[in-house]
């Protein structure tokens, strides 16, 4: 009986996800990749042991609407080395936590490097130095998708009960790169009001000088990040601090890389509570 009840809850949860509204980010082919022919796919059996999406050609936003919207919106960018998207632990599960706080969420599937096999995790791990070469041209496209997502949310804010000055973006690993890129490059329509890059790869960020009206930034990573990316978060923090822009940095002792909403019985299990406290301090969790 207990197992039946548990299965029912799981099915209801999956059904709730399936009913979310999905919006194509561009009316036609995404600018800059009009000739891409690969087909978007999913994989549930891979080295990361989680559901991933890959070969994204047509960027989309999956909308998660809270029962009681508080006027704040968050674009969420899952990570995966620009070869895949960890769509649950760095996407839908983050949205679930934030919508419980009243935040309207938009999980972004941004453009990715084309994968030639059915397992992007093995493919990217085998690339070595070729990784940077393959990723470089796609980063600009993915960053453009991040900016377009913010602009879309701002344009349609009234439809979702969103305050146009409370639109933020959060991203993980490569998604953190997309997130940070939007904080360096924006128009009035695509400016994020707050940003949260989580264990980002800063070397890939499409960056220039920190803007004069740079948004408040929340940065978090684990010191034992096995990809060696912990210093990247510190560098980004220092760049914001150097020009006296609002920023907050958390370096967890343990957590590794790619923890997202996974439970590991480590300090990283509670990282999102720190994000919530920061957002609360900015007045983003009250109506």
Q: Where are the chain's structural domains?
A: 40-281
Q: What percent of the chain has pLDDT over 90?
A: 93
pLDDT at 19: 52
Token pair for 73: 């919106």
> Between 3.30.450.40, 3.60.150.10, 3.30.930.10, 3.40.50.1820, what CATH number should domain 40-281 receive?
3.40.50.1820
Could you tell me which of 240, 262, 258, 261 has the C-alpha nearest to residue 249?
240
Contact yes or no for 158/123 (Cβ under 8 A): no
β pairing state of 85-86 and 167-172: unpaired
Q: Enumerate the β-bridge partners of residue 252.
A: 222
Termini Cα distance of the chain: 41
pLDDT digit string, tens, across residues 53-102: 999 999 999 999 999 999 999 999 999 999 999 999 999 999 999 999 99
Q: What percent of the chain has pLDDT over 70?
A: 93
Q: Enumerate the β-bridge partners of residue 52.
A: 43, 86
Token pair for 79: 């990570």
Contact yes or no for 189/212 (Cβ under 8 A): no
pLDDT digit string, tens, across residues 32-45: 999 999 999 999 99
Q: What is the pTM of this model?
A: 0.93
pLDDT at 20: 84
When the pLDDT of each residue in the chain is averaged and rounded to a whole number, the result is: 94
Contact yes or no for 269/263 (Cβ under 8 A): yes
Could you tell me which of 92, 78, 77 has the C-alpha nearest to residue 146?
77
pLDDT digit string, tens, across residues 228-265: 999 999 999 999 999 999 999 999 999 999 999 999 99
Residues contacting 192, CB < 8 A, separation 6+ = 75, 150, 167, 168, 169, 179, 182, 183, 186, 215
Of 15-19, 157-161, 170-174, give the lowest mean pLDDT range. Answer: 15-19
DSSP per-residue string spanning the chain? -HHHHHHHHHHHHHHHHHTSEEEESSSSSPTT-TT-----EEESSSTT-S-EEE---S-EEEEE--SS--S-EEEEE--STTT-EETIIIIIHHHHHHHTTT-EEEEEE---PPPSSS-HHHHHHT-TTHHHHHHHHHHHHHHHHHHHHHHHHHHTHHHHT--TT-EEEEEETHHHHHHHHHHHS--TTT--SEEEEES--GGG----SPPTTPPPEEEEEETT-TTS-HHHHHHHHHHHHHTT--EEEEEESS--S--TT---SSGGGGHHHHHHHHHHHTT-S--
């Amino acid at each position: 009986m207990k197992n039946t009840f548990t299965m029912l809850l799981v099915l209801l949860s999956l059904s709730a996800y399936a009913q979310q509204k999905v919006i194509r980010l561009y009316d036609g082919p995404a600018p800059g990749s009009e000739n891409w022919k690969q087909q978007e796919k999913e994989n549930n059996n891979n080295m990361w042991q989680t559901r991933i999406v890959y070969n994204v050609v047509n960027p989309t936003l999956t909308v998660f609407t809270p029962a009681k919207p508080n006027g704040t919106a968050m674009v969420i960018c899952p990570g995966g080395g620009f070869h895949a998207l960890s769509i649950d632990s760095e996407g839908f599960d983050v949205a679930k936590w934030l919508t419980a706080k009243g935040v309207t969420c938009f999980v972004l599937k941004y453009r990715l490097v084309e994968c030639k096999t059915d397992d992007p995790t093995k493919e990217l791990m085998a690339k070595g130095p070729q990784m940077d070469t393959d990723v470089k041209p796609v980063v600009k496209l993915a960053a453009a998708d991040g900016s377009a997502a913010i602009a879309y949310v701002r344009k349609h804010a009234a439809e979702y009960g969103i305050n146009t000055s409370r639109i933020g973006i959060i991203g993980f690993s490569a998604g953190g790169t997309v997130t940070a890129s939007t904080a360096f490059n924006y128009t009035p329509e695509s400016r994020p009001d707050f940003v949260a890059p989580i264990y980002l790869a800063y070397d890939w960020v499409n960056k220039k000088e920190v803007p004069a009206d740079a948004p408040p930034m929340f940065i978090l990573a684990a010191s034992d990040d096995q990809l060696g990316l912990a210093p990247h978060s510190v560098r980004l923090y220092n760049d914001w601090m150097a020009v006296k822009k609002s920023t907050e940095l958390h370096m967890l002792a343990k957590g590794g890389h790619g923890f997202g909403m996974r439970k590991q019985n480590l300090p990283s299990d509670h990282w999102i509570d720190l994000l919530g406290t920061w957002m609360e301090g900015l007045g983003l969790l009250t109506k």
